[in-house]
Amino acid sequence: MKLFEARRPATLEEVSWLRKALGRQLGELRLPGDVAGEMVLAVAELAANLVAHSDPPPRELAVEAVLDGILLTVTLEDDGGPFAGFETRWARATLAGAEDGVSGRGLALARRALDAVSYHRGPPNRLVAHRRLARRRPVVLVVEDEDVLLETYLGLLEPHFRLLAAANLKDALDIDGIYDSIRNAGLDLPERPRASDLNGKVVNCFMKCEADRTGQLRGRRQIMLDDSDVSWHRHIKAAVGGVA
């Protein structure tokens, strides 16, 4: 089933338009917010790289999105010269950045969101991206105000997790992510607040790691890690009156 099709001038401004238009279309599928967001971001990053690195630059960029079952395929087509060394840059891209200063985080963000990508030199050039519309790796939010440490942590964690990075707690505040996590746990939610309602604060947000998938509490998967973990539960119970 064809979900989206557009042909626009090959400029970064038009890439922004394509991103918004594709996002609206995927939103109608009622996909999980993180899945749709990752896919739209990946397509936008790939399109921006085609515009910026094809030689000579393309004049026109076409995008097509097709859904087959739970497999989403997005094809980007341009009339410029080839993106020299795309396969190498794609393979080496990391969230920590590349030593050559060219293959930045954009390709890494796209790579972690997609299951497969192939690039076919033209004319026209065609880049085909595939993504299964289901959550895959766990998400880890990394907050670190030292650039060197942040890049180190991202480089170590990237092979195993989907990563979100922030340099301070204000940037790390993600109300949508918090609500998605609560909803995915099967818990009831009050009416959705706006971020502005919270005045930049989150009260009693408790994030927990689970080392053992067999642990359960009240029928839900749960594991106490150590004595300090138990202590944290006591503090939370005192603050909010209980722990779900």
CA dihedral 157, 222, 177, 139 (to 10 degrees): 20
Contact predicate 17/47, CB 8 Å: no
Cα separation of 9 and 59, whole Å?
A: 6
Cα separation of 97 and 221, whole Å?
A: 36
Largest CA distance in the chain: 66
Q: How do the pLDDT tens digits run along the chain, 244 residues long?
A: 888 999 999 998 899 899 989 888 888 877 766 678 888 889 999 999 999 888 899 999 999 999 988 889 999 999 999 998 888 888 777 665 544 444 467 788 888 888 889 999 988 999 999 988 766 666 677 888 888 888 888 888 876 777 777 777 766 665 556 666 566 555 565 555 555 555 555 555 555 544 455 555 566 655 444 444 455 555 545 544 444 4
The identity of residue 149, as a single letter, is L
Contact predicate 131/42, CB 8 Å: yes
Cα separation of 176 and 195, whole Å?
A: 9
What the chain holds in terms of domains, given with CATH numbers, is: 2-132 (3.30.565.10), 139-243 (3.30.1330.160)
